[in-house]
Amino acid sequence: MDGRFSGQLGGAATLEKMDTSRATRVGTTSIRVASVPQSHVYVRHLSPVNGSVSVLDTGAVSVTRLPDPVPADGAKVPGGWWPPLMLDPRWIAEHHNEFDVFHLHFGFDAVEPSVMADVLGELDRHGKPLVYTLHDLRNPHHPEPGAHEEVLDLLVPAADEVVTLTPGAAEQISQRWDRSATVLPHPHVVPPGRFAPRETPADEFVVGVHAKSVRANMDPLPVIMTLLEAASDYPDMTIQINLHDEVFVPGNHWYNPDFGTTALALSRHPYARVRVHDYFTDDQLWDYLRGLSVSVLPYRFGTHSGWLEACHDLGTSVIAPSCGFYHEQQECFTYDFTEDRFDPDSLVAALAQAYSARPAAAMWRDRRVQRLSIAEAHAGLYTRVLDA
């Protein structure tokens, strides 16, 4: 999932500071969840806004998610600590008394199948149920699907409960693994204080293509060139191209001087605006997205998107590719873009639709109600796997 934003990391306390007893308040069941990772914005927003208990038909349930253990080098990636120490059979062996349910979301990009098998074996050894939320049928960071699919072939059959975000993904899970997945929508991404009505449309219609660090599933150039050509048909359109400065740093994992040089050269185009910068902070990201009229996702493969959810929160239109299930997450415009094909005309048509539309920003009261429902669904799910 592409919702690994910069700056969106919660504070991470050490496990030693946590109460390791399974406390039970009067009339309330307390469940401790080891989430991987806890600090990602998606995971943090699976809890009620005010931290209250979830009231279910079976009674009140309080869910506590363990903070992410901090690696010795303190290394982070956007969305969590790296590597996630909970995805280590030794950590599970040493800390299994501190959690009741293990819930995996992200963070196993570099985990070998043999290690994941050991993780699953250690959970089974200690009788800890596994919940797996399948965000990515195809890992957006892997150029080839094989390694991710090997791990999925272990996780999906082994999980006590499988969750995903869209009906289309659930259907794929059913077809590939004969598992029934619970479909729960993606919660809001933007914080409550950032929800606000869209301002009067600006004099400039800004189309954003955020190339980030040009990860494996991105192919921005054909998208950008098509948009630049189409922009000449509009009186007020600017194509804004953003990329991270690390693509110019030799030795960096994301070093990509060919794309960087090509992107910079586009700054001479009359309809282009090129911005090179470090990872945005949260506030910078929200300002950037709200400043766009439409955000175009240049993905040739993928499944779901946190970026799309943030745009929905802020009232920024999205043009999403036909791959994956972005169109099932939120209302958006689509164009034909996959690993095998690109239809420029479909992108031009989607641009015309987006130009004529002026969507309203999401309302916090609606997202708050949805978040409460999602929190209750997870509390019920954890209760179910513990009672099984």
Mean pLDDT of 212-218: 95
CA count, 13 A, side-chain hemisphere, 130: 24
Q: In the chain, what percentage of residues exceed pLDDT 90? A: 82
**Domain edges within the chain:** 15-187+368-387, 192-356
pLDDT per residue as tens digits for the range 151-167 = 999 999 999 999 999 99
Q: What is the pLDDT of residue 16?
A: 32
Q: What is the pLDDT of residue 83?
A: 86
Residue 227 C-alpha from the chain's centroid? 26
Mean pLDDT of 201-220: 93
Among candidate residues 41, 50, 43, the one with its CA nearest the CA of residue 66: 43
Q: What is the pLDDT of residue 154?
A: 98
Q: What is the pLDDT of residue 253?
A: 86
Q: How confident is the model at residue 5 (pLDDT cuts 50, 70, 90)?
A: very low
Mean pLDDT of 280-284: 94
Structure token digits, residue 27: 């009339």
Interatomic CA distance for residues 192 and 190, integer angstroms = 7
Mean pLDDT of 95-100: 98
Structure token digits, residue 208: 């954003």
The top-level CATH class assigned to 192-356 is alpha beta
3-state SS assignment for residue 220 = helix
Asked, colleague to colleague, whether 15-187+368-387 and 192-356 share their fold, the answer is: yes
Mean pLDDT of 54-73: 90
In this predicted structure, the answer to whether residue 310 has a pLDDT above a threshold of 70 is yes
In this predicted structure, the answer to whether residue 71 has a pLDDT above a threshold of 70 is yes
Q: What is the pLDDT of residue 328?
A: 98
Q: What is the pLDDT of residue 326?
A: 98
Q: In the chain, what percentage of residues exceed pLDDT 70? A: 92
Question: What CATH topology corresponds to 15-187+368-387?
Answer: Rossmann fold (3.40.50)
Mean pLDDT of 360-364: 93
Mean pLDDT of 87-113: 96
CB atoms inside a 10 Å sphere around CB 309 = 27
Q: How confident is the model at residue 1 (pLDDT cuts 50, 70, 90)?
A: low
Q: Going by DSSP bridges, is the β-strand pair 80-81/76-77 parallel, antiparallel, or unpaired?
A: antiparallel
